[in-house]
A and B are shown apart, each in its own frame.
Chain A
Amino acid sequence: MGVGAEVVGLTKSFGEQTVWSDVTLTVPAGDITVLLGPSGTGKSVFLKTLIGLLRPDRGRVYIDGSELTAMRDRELYEVRKRCGVLFQDGALFGSMTVYDNIAFPLREHTRKTEAEIRRIVSARLELVGMTGDEDKLPSEISGGMRKRAGLARALVMDPELILCDEPDSGLDPVRTAFLGKLIADLNAETGATFLIVTHDINTARTLPDHIGMLYRGELIAFASREEILASREPVVHQFLTAGLDGPIGMAEEKDAEETRSVEARR
């Protein structure tokens, strides 16, 4: 069964620049949630803050009801063992083969025999369609394969909360669809909670139970998929239809200007 996560009044800035402020949302346990947003809106930073890799300036993060932001390192590592994270580029350990990468969490945290480990790793590799690539180094496989191997590693400890940072970037549409199906199957099978950060509209249209949208440093929408897909809110609508007309511009700065002039016209 999956665990939920809750974020209250979260604010993060790097120096002068605020990434996002006052984000409050609940990632419901056992569901798939997608967090959308244009490039550069701090989606990855949000994921890293949620798992305690970055400390927020203000606000609190709860995972399964316990406050992550108040934890000591030891407790933090215990909570993380129940979570799986898929990083943008897979973040495989460059010095280890694909097999050793996926076996790493098992060797670190369990007393399983090498035969059991082999069985589990083979099953995960098959799940992501990488049987036969065990002995390759991360530098010898393509970006898409690194991503799938990263997913296999994130899944190997049977996590209850899985965070995916753009699982679909750099994959072709067919592979993206397969990956989406894999996530849906895993969710149905294990009940694990998924939080997926992406800017891929197709993923957002088909996969999640809930959708949130980050734009210009704020969470501007968070609701069920149906509500968001039907939303007439200009930013959400423009993003989901990939339209050129709307508040979102080519550059982040233009977004800010646009909004200011829209506000002035009102």
Chain B
Amino acid sequence: MRPLVGLGRFTGFCADVFKAVPKRPFQWGETVRQAWFIASVSILPTALVAIPFGAVIALQLGSLSRQIGAESFAGAASVLAVVREAGPIVTALLIAGAGGSAMCADLGARKIREELDAMQTLGVDPVQRLVVPRMIAGAVVAVLLNGVVSAVGIAGGYLFNVYMQGGTPGAYLASFAALGQVADLVSAQVRAFVFGIVAALIACYLGMNAKGGPKGVGQAVNTSVVVSFMVLFAVNFVMVALYFQLVPQKGS
């Protein structure tokens, strides 16, 4: 029963947030501040995760493609792996782990200091004032982060393939378009956008419902990271499955 009650409340919360999106005045200042904040806590870790991730993929696929005698496709395979899957996954991990946890801790601290109650009694809706800007900032930054991961991953794969595995630059670049298509990038960006929204909603919901003093805030942050990881991976699976059903692939 209990998880269902939580799920119901969360659904109601999400409905409130989406209803509050068109409300005026839109909080531009808060949105920009939050976007800047999320970007500042996640850009460096994103780059540092994306480089080895891209290199590992290049290593694995480079060796695999040599084994099956398709070395000239190593570049294409890297691009597919990084753009289609590694990008959104790394984005999901960082937007939930770095951005979401900070968001949850911030709102949780405000909740237990009664700031959110005070805001409501001053006639200001915290959902419109605080949650909507965070959700939009999360979505925008996730899309941008995904771009960073893709770029860094491809560059890392290129360096690895060309300088360490003896691949040729031309083959790496020329095979880009052999299997990949623009729709791959679009799909990844759409997923990143959804991840940003989901991670922000979960973090804000749990933060705003923290209770029991500082310990409660710690628990809320922990729950927020764990729950958003699980939800984001599930959402990722569903969206990828839909993508392969709806968008025709090259060569098929």
Contacts and interface: CB of A to CB of B under 8 A. Distances in A.
Interface of A: 48, 51, 53, 73, 77-78, 80-81, 83-85, 87-89, 91-94, 104-105, 108-109, 150, 153, 157
Contacts of A48: 117
B113 A85 contact: no
B124 interface: yes
B115 A108 contact: no
22 contacts: A53-B117, A73-B125, A77-B120, A77-B124, A77-B125, A80-B120, A80-B122, A83-B121, A84-B121, A87-B114, A87-B117, A87-B118, A88-B114, A89-B114, A91-B118, A92-B115, A93-B119, A94-B115, A104-B124, A105-B122, A150-B118, A153-B118
Given A77-B123, A80-B123, A153-B118, 20 more contacts: A51-B121, A53-B117, A53-B120, A53-B121, A73-B125, A81-B122, A83-B121, A85-B118, A85-B121, A87-B114, A89-B113, A91-B115, A91-B118, A92-B115, A93-B110, A94-B109, A94-B110, A104-B124, A105-B122, A108-B124
A150 B113 CA distance: 12
A88 B114 CA distance: 9
A91 B122 CA distance: 11
Interface of B: 109-110, 113-115, 117-125
A101 to B, nearest CB: 9
A89 B110 CA distance: 12
A143 to B, nearest CB: 12
Nearest to A109: B123
Nearest to B122: A105
Of B110, B115, B121, B123, chain A has the most CB atoms within 10 Å of the CB of: B121
Contact of B123 (A89, A108, A153): A108
A72 to B, nearest CB: 12
Contacts of A88: 114
Given A91-B113, A94-B109, A108 B118 contact: no
Contacts of B122: 80-81, 104-105, 108, 153, 157
Nearest to A77: B123
B123 A94 contact: no
B30 to A, nearest CB: 11
A8 to B, nearest CB: 22
Nearest to B121: A85
The 6 closest A-B pairs by CB, nearest first: A91-B118, A91-B114, A81-B123, A85-B121, A87-B114, A105-B122
Nearest to B123: A81
A23 B214 CA distance: 32
Contacts of B125: 73, 77
Contacts of A85: 117-118, 121
A23 to B, nearest CB: 20
A153 B122 CA distance: 9
A78 B122 CA distance: 10
Contacts of A81: 122-123
B115 A93 contact: yes
Of B109, B110, B113, chain A has the most CB atoms within 10 Å of the CB of: B113
A83 B110 CA distance: 21
Contacts of A51: 121
B240 to A, nearest CB: 38
Contacts of A87: 114, 117-118
Contacts of B119: 93
Contacts of B121: 51, 53, 80, 83-85
B28 to A, nearest CB: 15
B163 to A, nearest CB: 47
B117 A94 contact: no
B53 to A, nearest CB: 35
Contacts of B124: 77, 104, 108
A105 B124 CA distance: 8
A109 B121 CA distance: 13
A104 B123 CA distance: 11
Contacts of B114: 87-89, 91
A91 B110 CA distance: 9
A53 B126 CA distance: 12
A103 to B, nearest CB: 11
Contacts of B115: 91-94
A88 B125 CA distance: 21
